Structure 1
Amino acid sequence: MTWTPHATVAVIVEDDRGRFLMVEEISSGRIVFNQPAGHVEEGEPILDAVRRETLEETGWQVEPRHFLGVYTYKAPANGVTYYRFCYYAEAVQRRSTELDDGIIAAHWLDLDEIRQLGSKLRSPLVLRCIEDYRNGRRYPLDVVVDTQT
């Protein structure tokens, strides 16, 4: 059996009121909340994946500003290991667009509202990434070398 980890991006977007852009979605038959996030497509520059996933899942055009880190998670539901490249991005403009299949809605939630979601968070990394951002974790975008750009 070949081990095939999944490369994903997750995007922290905070508005001027301290609320975070969150996605309400259906995963494995249950309603969960996550940052805008998804798989990096083959041949796709990672910052393009950040922009694309956020637009597809929320209707917001964003511009990446900082890299927060690589987070690993082995999902108990399917045994898949995910490598989550987490970024902070600024909201640029709301676009009128149809959201991806499985997406119920995009919401702006404050940190207390996100914490109260508890087991409705898609994974423990959702809150961990936000807390790392709130604690000042920030790296320049060029810390990730992407030869596809």
Structure 2
Amino acid sequence: MDRPLVAVGSVIFNGDSVLLIRRLHPPNQYKWAIPGGKVELGERLRDAVIRETLEETGLLVEPRTLMGIIEVFKEGYHYVILDFICEKKGGELKASSDAGDAKYFTLNEIRKLNVSSTTLEMLERFWRGEKMPFMITEISK
């Protein structure tokens, strides 16, 4: 890889819970994370959020607000991830594609899961009241 990959994430709230998927592939294989994935060449960010969310969760969403920017250097990858707060518009929750499972969790439940540090930090910052987009970087060798 000679340049960073751009990815998107879909943050879907249900009351005081947020939807996470259990990743089946690297990076963060077998960890719980925000649904999402790589943006395809020529694809708009909004369309990538909708496509990736539908592929992994069976849910149709509408991206509303940029929540955070995550930069990850891990497992031979360099990702720049734009996580959007999304409104659920339809569909039925069912893990598929790169997701082994998909469930809603409260913040206290998330703290007990095998979840990436960037996912946890982003959600904790949001629930503390940070509403402007922020950047979180994870570097792992």
Same fold, TM-score > 0.5, yes or no: yes
CA distance in 1: counterparts of 2:73 and 2:32, whole angstroms: 18
User: Are 1:114 and 2:110 an aligned pair?
Assistant: yes
Letter in structure 2 aligned against 1:107: K
More strand by share: 2
The SS at the match of 1:11 is strand
Q: Give me the identity figure in percent.
A: 27
Q: What is the root-mean-square deviation of aligned Cα atoms in Å?
A: 2.2
Letter in structure 1 aligned against 2:122: C
Taking a change above 3 Å as real, the CA distance of residues 56 and 3 of structure 1, as seen in their structure-2 partners, is same
The SS at the match of 1:31 is coil
Shift of 1:98: 7.4
Using structure 1 for the length normalisation, give the TM-score. 0.78
CA distance in 2: counterparts of 1:50 and 1:132, whole angstroms: 22
More helix by share: 1
Which residues of structure 2 form unaligned runs of 5+?
134-141
Which residues of structure 1 form unaligned runs of 5+?
140-149
> What's 1:131 paired with?
124
Using structure 2 for the length normalisation, give the TM-score. 0.82
Structure number with larger C-alpha Rg: 1
User: Are 1:88 and 2:85 an aligned pair?
Assistant: yes
Partners of 1:40 and 1:46 within 8 A in 2: yes
> What's 1:145 paired with?
none
Taking a change above 3 Å as real, the CA distance of residues 35 and 96 of structure 1, as seen in their structure-2 partners, is closer
Name the count of aligned residue pairs.
131
CA distance in 1: counterparts of 2:3 and 2:73, whole angstroms: 12
CA distance in 2: counterparts of 1:108 and 1:35, whole angstroms: 11
The SS at the match of 1:52 is helix
CA distance in 2: counterparts of 1:41 and 1:111, whole angstroms: 31
